[in-house]
Amino acid sequence: MKRLRVAVLISGRGSNLRALLEAAASPAYPAEITLVLSNRRGAGGLAHARRADVPTAVVDHTAFADRAAFERAMEAEIAAAGVEAICLAGFMRRLTAGFVERWRDRMINIHPSLLPAFAGLDTHRRALEAGVRFTGCSVHFVRTEVDSGPIIVQATVPVLPGDDEERLAARVLTAEHRCYPLALRLLAEGRLTIVGERVEISDGRAPDTVAINPMP
């Protein structure tokens, strides 16, 4: 089986990277992580990659005069690794339109909300302030506008009485660790078709239950 060659871009602890590495450790998984690239030398996620014997690279954005030069250096590392698709996993740099277009429909991202709700930063605080009963996470194809693009996978997480940002974030993160490997598997298996700006999934199934919070 030919496996999709994937680079994961990180800036921090690499929690979702670890979930992807664990999934890709199985020979039956249709994608392999061939590069973990960080814009920060101290990113904790680099240690996860090294323990998994996955090549790493650091391209420090502060060493470049502009974003275009920074991205050229990243793309040189990506090309050298023979990468076919990119996963953003806590990568905290805004990408240029040129970079996004070159990887159009081959680059995915995970966001800790049910997009299009609460795009951007401070998602958990904003969800709590809004009084929503459910929040969650979304994996989507990347477009030039932040946290936009066709949605591949979503998971709902209930907001519980007494929740604060930390407790809610931990519950959402558990869902993220399930959603990201699933979304990458669907991409690697060639089961995703973008129609307009919607994703259609071949042989996809959806739950037929209704979630209610609070329970009656």
Structural domain count, the chain: 2
Helices 165-188 and 15-24: crossing angle in degrees, nearest 10, is 30
pLDDT in tens, 78-87: 999 999 999 9
Examine residue 134 and state whether it is found in any structural domain, yes or no: yes
Examine residue 2 and state whether it is found in any structural domain, yes or no: yes
Give me 118's structure tokens.
């609460």
Q: Are residues 87 and 160 in the same domain?
A: no
- Assess contact for 111 and 147: CB atoms under 8 A: yes
Q: Are residues 136 and 188 in the same domain?
A: yes
Q: Are residues 75 and 114 in the same domain?
A: no
CA–CA separation, 186 and 152 (whole Å)? 9
Q: Are residues 83 and 13 in the same domain?
A: yes
Examine residue 155 and state whether it is found in any structural domain, yes or no: yes
CA–CA separation, 48 and 216 (whole Å)? 43
Q: Are residues 133 and 171 in the same domain?
A: yes
Q: Are residues 97 and 122 in the same domain?
A: no
Give the CATH number for residue 10.
3.40.50.170
By annotation, the residues acting in catalysis are 111
When pLDDT is cut at 50, 70 and 90, the band that residue 215 belongs to is: confident
Torsion of CA 10, 15, 20, 23, to 10 degrees: 160
Examine residue 213 and state whether it is found in any structural domain, yes or no: no
Torsion of CA 37, 185, 149, 56, to 10 degrees: 0
Range of the domain at 186: 109-204
What is the three-class DSSP state of 200? strand
Of 55, 79, 103, the last residue of a domain is 103
pLDDT in tens, 101-148: 999 999 999 999 999 999 999 999 999 999 999 999 999 999 999 999
Q: Are residues 80 and 134 in the same domain?
A: no
pLDDT in tens, 40-71: 999 999 999 999 999 999 999 999 999 999 99
Q: Are residues 59 and 3 in the same domain?
A: yes
Q: Are residues 14 and 46 in the same domain?
A: yes
